[in-house]
Amino acid sequence: MKRFLSATLFIGVALTAPAQAHHSFAMFDSNNQIDIEGTIKEFAWTNPHVAIYVAAKPIAGKPEAVWAIEATSPGNLTRMGWSKGTFKPGDRVKMTIRPLRSGEPGGAFSKAVIVDTGKEVLLKNE
């Protein structure tokens, strides 16, 4: 009986761990979009969500800052045509994001244009 309880507990924890590791997008203002313009500092192609760090020009009276922009997972983005090379450090971008509700410099990716090439980078559902 003790082994059965241990196995049941282990399976329960193993099945719920992935759900606990994933977080909600509630921290982003889904009713608002803003545009930022700047230079890619880092493109982190990592799970569970890809992160894009942009040194952005000041907007709305705020100082220049590095914005942390979050996208979906590498697997989802690959199916949308993205790759590890979609953005490179030094790329100049104009990006539309759904900002953080906190007002901190960050948000959820909506779309971008790489200035030097004119290439649009979109999410499939945009």
* pLDDT tens for each residue of 100-116: 999 999 999 999 999 99
CATH 2.40.50.140 fits 25-122, yes or no: yes
Amino acid at 115: V
**pLDDT tens figures, 42-89:** 999 999 999 999 999 887 777 889 999 999 999 999 999 999 999 999
pLDDT of residue 125: 53
**Do the Cβ atoms of 80 and 94 come closer than 8 Å?**
no
Residue 119 carries which DSSP code?
E
- Which pLDDT score, from 0 to 100, does residue 19 have? 44
